[in-house]
Amino acid sequence: MGKSIKDIVSSLVDDDGIKTEVTLTMTNQTLTKVIIALLASGATIVLVAHLTKNMFPNHQLSLLTTDIKTIKETLKKQLK
């Protein structure tokens, strides 16, 4: 099945204490998975930000639009 817990612990701890040497092996498949995960998370962040912005319109923007319509109507009345 693999290493026992005793083997794992003994490989992490020696006479001086906890070993701090760490070796990471990155295969092409692992690197590809990491890159895809980073790209997917970035795309998700952009998508959520875009949907949030469009699903919940800015209240100030709607107030400005109303004010602009009122100003236009007032100017049309005054110019007639």
In the chain, the number of structural domains is 1
Q: Answer whether residue 45 is part of any domain.
A: yes
Return the pLDDT at 36.
Answer: 97
Q: Answer whether residue 12 is part of any domain.
A: no
pLDDT in tens, the chain (80 residues): 567 888 877 778 877 777 777 777 889 998 999 999 999 999 999 999 998 888 877 778 888 889 999 999 999 888 87
Three-state DSSP at 15 gives: coil
Return the pLDDT at 55.
Answer: 80
Return the pLDDT at 1.
Answer: 55
Return the pLDDT at 38.
Answer: 96
Q: Answer whether residue 8 is part of any domain.
A: no
Q: Answer whether residue 13 is part of any domain.
A: no
Q: Answer whether residue 66 is part of any domain.
A: yes
Q: Answer whether residue 52 is part of any domain.
A: yes
Q: Answer whether residue 37 is part of any domain.
A: yes
Q: List the domain range (segments joined by +) for residue 44.
A: 25-79
Put simply, whether the predicted model's pTM sits higher than 0.85 gets the answer no
Q: Answer whether residue 14 is part of any domain.
A: no
**Interior CA angle at 69 toward 64 and 72, to 5°?**
125
